[in-house]
Amino acid sequence: MDPEELERRLIDCTRCGTCLKDCPVYHETLDEQYTARARVNLAKAVYYHGRFELGEGLRDIAEACLLCRACLEACPNKVDGPVFARLLRERVVERFGETAMRRAAFRGVLPEPGRVGWAAVAVRAAQRTGLDRFVGAIVTGSLATGSLAAGALGALPRLPARPLTRIHRPGSVLPPADRDGTDGPASNHRPKARLAYFHGCLNDRVFPQTGLAVIDVLRRNGYEVVVPPQNCCGLPASAGGDLAAARGMAQANVEALGRAVADWLITDCASCGSALREYGDLLGTDEARAISAKARDINEFLVTEGFDREGLGEVALTVTYHDPCHLKRYQDIPAQPQALLAAIPGLVFKEMRDAAVCCGAAGSFVLTHPDLAGRIGARKAANALATGADAVATACPSCRMQLERVTVRAGRGLPAPHPVELLARSYAAGDACRRERTPVDPARACQARTKASAG
Amino acid sequence: MMANREPAVDRAFLKELTRVVGPDRVLTKLESRYAYGLDATYHQAAPDVVVRVRKADEVSRVLRLCHREGVPVTPRGAGTSFSGGPIPLAGGVSLALQGMNRVLEFSPGDSLAVVEPGVVTGDLQRLVEAEGWYYPPDPQSADFCTIGGNIAENASGPHGVKYGSTRDYLLGLEVVLPDGEVITVGGRTIKNVTGFDLTRLFCSSEGMLGVVTKATVKLIPRPESKVVLLAFFKDWAQGGRAVADIFAAGILPTTLEIMDDVSIRTVEEYGHFGLRLDAGAMLLIEVDGFIETMDRQGRAVSAICEKAGAMEVRVAHDPARQAELWKARKVLSPATSRLAPTRVSEDVTVPRSRLPELVVRLKEVGKEVGLPIIVFGHAGDGNLHPGILTDERDPDKWARAERAVELCFKHTIELGGTLSGEHGVGFMKSPFLPLEYGERAIRLMKDLKGAVDPKGILNPGKMFPDPRNPLRAGGPAAGAAVGQPGPAGGERHGP
Ligand SMILES: Cc1cc2nc3c(=O)[nH]c(=O)nc-3n(C[C@H](O)[C@H](O)[C@H](O)COP(=O)(O)OP(=O)(O)OC[C@H]3O[C@@H](n4cnc5c(N)ncnc54)[C@H](O)[C@@H]3O)c2cc1C
Ligand code: SF4
Ligand code: SF4
């Protein structure tokens, strides 16, 4: 941020305290040092007046923020609290350096898809052989150039045997598919558009089923899908205050994605999506701005461009939805995922209380503040469970991990599929129905019941 | 003055505090203390230590300790004060009460609730409204300020016309005195004339006489229905006439808000509510009661406004439309804060009949000092919020704003009014106290303070003219005015 912009933004804060109202961290701690008002005014003291000597105490204050933007939404003067948390984090990194774990993650592992892969292999090995968190951390530490800490291991669910990029190798080009998802005559049709799919780290390594569903749904709807080579979107680094590392990752992606020459860049990860949309500002180049302009979230894309509804079959599930901060407040996509769910025959949608309150994962927050993240998550879990739903859909893999974990802890684990996975399931149900040649009431969707399990 | 102030606490003292509440709730790092040194004014002064209490017993033990050592203590709710109340001018302990946030009892049978001071006002309101009850004091900050702060400031809001202020709903209090002793005053009954009315004494005592640790508040049945009207007038004279006529007709509205032409225009630009830009004044009127009376009351108010010369009156009976009409008033603060880098907001109050005169004088003040002044507020109770548009970074403009404040106060007192209708004195208005009170009355207040707090440890530097006041001691403290980390916070790293 240039100094003038910074000064203008700092002076916007009238210290009214409205931002205390919806801040999940404040609600848990009731401690004012962890509020947007505190951070904005610390930033004001640090940057604007330049008289403030920083102590180590700043790290804690800077980091105890979910970057969820609830404060921005509440603020009558539209002061962007998270911007100042990030600013303070940058300052902490500048002055006191990064923690060893982060340095390893931002500089060692995340920029290199290969190393992310190695880390994942190591984590999986540790999980399979039942090594406890501590031993696991040592194993991953040595294998992945001293990377992921013990906490990360505890935070990860069981990893799948085959990541998405083993199924669809980087560089794969997938033609449009027939209505039943197979390579039929449609693959020779002119695609409606050429889409580059950005899966990010988590939907590659942890939830490949999301990527498969996205590719399946897009192909059925007449799109050609490219899976370009890519690396971490950089959000963990920029959120952590390591802008240099974030820029490095962004630049590598801008180059790789640029080469994919697609009409749109589609992602199914809310966090990656918001990062991609910020590349223009982060790098300030025309190429980066072009990538940002093309980046679209899959939910928004399908709802805006339309999708085949006739092929949908019944999915008899009761589902609630959790709004990822990075989708609702960072990308202004507040209703599209729910619209996808509503389109699925047989699916009963139940809104949960405080659906848009942060789940508490917030990237590395869950690692730096496990206790707080757990308490914030517990509220989320209680609200999700109170709906009686079979699943709590969400559009971000990081939220997904948290939701699946906190509902288990609350006594009844709920799966947290991406809405597009449920959409893909609905198409599959439609396929099954048509294969069985069940007479179809033309006015209604295919009635064949697939055995619905929420997983 | 404050620049050379030594920390009021030492290591041994901190250790004792830690023994009371545990290490996690004693904050000593400068970065942590900093947040507890500010409120909604443009000033700050970090305390030497923050103690986050959870129980009355902890409050008592902390105060006993401070009393013994002569360490200043400043109680703090949510820090939304407009008068500098929770800013620890003399350093020492910031006693953070937000963590005492339990609703202890809700008793429809006795129509009361018992709450801890850190309960957020809006949370209590929602809780009782769900059960058909109503806690009326409605500061606009209700969603984030605390009952304790409301009691200490005797807060009220737009509904004050009909429902009064916080003090009208206080039945009893538990208070920790500055020496750590715990007393209860008042009780659980609607009527209570036994002894001096200490409950009301502690109400609006701005955290200077004791720390409220429990409050018994009165609830009333939730009104069944309401009607909301928006009326546009050529000028304030017409608007003022409508206000007078509404009361004369025997109607007691819950709300009677007035906005001037600049406010109307600014709000319209901000939110596009379809307001009349040719109007010189706008009234937002709300009347409540039984459903059957709504139509009649709506028509009556409407007719009165038209007779007073209203160019247009809009009436809303359904809740969605009512919320829309209210919206124009609700966004007023953020909308107008864009008009200038800094808006100094006052809350002067005059007898209702003098309101149009006050507005004329306020506009003249604006011309005199060469700064725009916007005027809006609660016309029903004569409580206006003149907003002086200035720039905290420009010493000249800041000085002119301070001059404007002085003039506002002078005119208000001349018209038989008071310096503050809602926000309290703190140190923002303390230099002007002698404008409103005679020397003997001020001495009585000081005697009272001295009797309760002989060592003067509780919230020092407030209410009375005081050399510790960053506003007036040796001229405006530019540092404090532009929101720099006050010397108390910026130049030391604490104990
Ligand atoms: C946007 C905005 C709108 C506002 N609108 C209104 C309005 O419409 N009407 C109105 O009246 N005010 C209004 N205010 C002012 C403010 O919200 C009130 O004065 C409120 O009562 C302060 O409550 P608090 O919890 O923030 O207390 P604080 O600001 O933390 O403290 C206020 C004073 O109370 C003392 N105190 C706090 N808790 C206790 C306790 N338990 N025991 C003893 N003393 C205590 C403190 O020492 C201090 O002197 C507004 C403020 C803002 C920022
Ligand atoms: S950030 Fe916004 S809501 Fe928070 S104190 Fe500042 S102006 Fe008020
Ligand atoms: S971004 Fe979220 S956690 Fe951070 S201060 Fe704002 S509301 Fe609180």
What pLDDT is attached to residue B90? 94
Nearest CA in chain B to A37: B35
Q: Is B359 exposed, middle or buried (0-12, 13-18, 19+ CB in 10 A)?
A: buried
Identify the bridge partners of residue B388 per DSSP, sorted by sequence position: B344, B373
Q: Any idea where the domains of chain A sit in the sequence?
A: 3-96, 100-154, 164-305, 317-426
Identify the nearest ligand to the CA of A329 by its number: 3
> How many Å lie between the alpha carbon of A46 and the closest alpha carbon of chain B?
9
> Quick one: how far is CA A255 from the chain centroid?
22
Contacts of B42 in chain A (CB under 8 A): 15
Q: Is A82 in the pocket of ligand 3 (CB under 6 A)?
A: yes
Span from the CA of A37 to the centroid of ligand 2 (angstroms): 5
The pair of structure tokens assigned to A421 is: 């996975």
Indicate yes or no: CB of A51 within 8 angstroms of CB of B485: yes
The CATH code of the domain at A317-426 is 3.40.50
Helix axes B236-248, B291-307, angle to 10 degrees: 140
Residues of B in contact with A60 (CB under 8 A): 31-32
Measured from the CB, is residue A19 less than 6 Å from ligand 2?
yes
User: Which of B21, B27, B28, B32 is the best mutation test for A, with the most CBs of A within 10 A?
Assistant: B32
Q: Which residues contact B447 (CB under 8 A, 6 or more apart)?
A: none
Residue identifier of the C-alpha nearest atom 6 of ligand 3? A71
**Contact A125/A111 with Cβ under 8 angstroms?**
no
Q: Is B232 on the interface with A (CB under 8 A)?
A: no
Going from the Cα of A122 to the center of ligand 1, the distance in angstroms, rounded, reads 55
Residue B26 φ then ψ, to 5°: -115, 115
Q: Which CATH class is domain B11-96?
A: alpha beta
In this structure, which amino acid lies at residue A50? G
CATH says B225-333 is which class?
Answer: alpha beta
Which of A30, A40, A66, A88 to mutate for ligand 3's pocket (most ligand atoms within 8 Å of CB)? A66
- Which parts of chain A have pLDDT scores under 70? 1, 48-53, 100-101, 103-104, 117, 120-156, 437-455
d(CA A303, CA A434): 25
* Ligand of minimum distance to the alpha carbon of A24: 3
pTM confidence score: 0.91
Which of these, A83, A39, A25, lies nearest to B35 by C-alpha position?
A: A39
The correct CATH number of A3-96 out of 2.60.110.10, 1.20.810.10, 1.10.10.10, 1.10.1060.10 is 1.10.1060.10
Q: Which atom of ligand 2 is nearest to the CA of B40?
A: 5
Can you give the pLDDT of all 495 residues of chain B as single tens digits?
344 467 788 999 999 999 999 999 999 998 999 999 999 998 889 999 999 999 999 999 999 999 999 999 999 999 999 999 999 999 999 999 999 999 999 999 999 999 999 999 999 999 999 999 999 999 999 999 999 999 999 999 999 999 999 999 999 999 999 999 999 999 999 999 999 999 999 999 999 999 999 999 999 999 999 999 999 999 989 999 999 999 999 999 999 999 999 999 999 999 899 999 999 999 999 999 999 999 999 999 999 999 999 999 999 999 999 999 999 998 888 888 888 888 888 999 999 999 999 999 999 999 999 999 999 999 999 999 999 999 888 899 999 999 999 999 999 999 999 999 999 999 999 999 999 999 999 999 999 999 999 999 999 999 999 988 887 533 333 333 333 333 333 222 222
Q: Which residue of A has its CA nearest to B332?
A: A76
Ligand 1 centre distance from Cα of residue B349 (Å): 18
- The structural domains of chain B, with segments of one domain joined by +, span 11-96, 103-221, 225-333, 340-492
Beta strands in B154-280 (DSSP E): 170-176, 182-186, 211-218, 220-221, 225-233, 255-260
Please name the residue whose Cα sits nearest to atom 2 of ligand 2.
A75
- CA of A41 relative to ligand 3 center, distance in Å: 14
Q: How far apart are the first and last CA of chain B?
A: 19
Does B30 contact A at CB distance below 8 Å?
yes
DSSP codes, A167-227: HS-TTEEE----TTSSSSGGGGSPPS-EEEEE-TTHHHHT-HHHHHHHHHHHHHTT-EEEE
Contacts of A45 in chain B (CB under 8 A): 34, 484-485, 489-490
Which one-letter amino acid corresponds to residue B165?
A: S
Residue A4 distance to chain B (closest CA, Å) = 13
Q: Whose CA is nearest to atom 5 of ligand 2?
A: A15
Q: Candidates 3.30.465.10, 1.20.120.50, 3.40.50.300, 1.10.287.130; correct CATH number of B103-221?
A: 3.30.465.10
CA distance A18 to chain B (A): 6
8 A C-beta contact, residue B212 and residue B117: yes
| CB atoms near residue A245 (< 10 Å) | 25
Whether B473 and B90 have beta carbons less than 8 Å apart is answered as no
Chain A's closest residue to B393, CA to CA, is A11
Domain A164-305, classified CATH 3.40.50.1860, yes or no: yes
The dotted CATH code for B340-492 is 3.30.70.2740
Is A11's C-beta closer than 6 angstroms to any atom of ligand 2? no
Q: Do domains B225-333 and B340-492 have the same CATH topology?
A: yes
Cα B163 to the chain's mean position, in Å?
A: 16
Q: Give the DSSP per-residue string, A343-357.
A: HSTTPEE-PPTTTTS
CA nearest to A6, candidates A63, A62, A88: A88
Strand ranges for B273-392 from DSSP E: 281-289, 312-316, 342-345, 373-378, 383-390
Distance A143 CA to ligand 1 centre (A): 56
Is A259 a pocket residue for ligand 2 (Cβ < 6 Å)?
A: no
In this chain, the answer to whether the domains covering A164-305 and A317-426 adopt an identical fold is yes
Contact B393 A38 (CB under 8 A): no
> For residue B145, what pLDDT is reported?
98
Return the H-helix or E-strand segment holding B11: helix B11-21
Q: Which atom of ligand 1 is nearest to the CA of B80?
A: 26
Q: What is the mean pLDDT of chain B?
A: 91
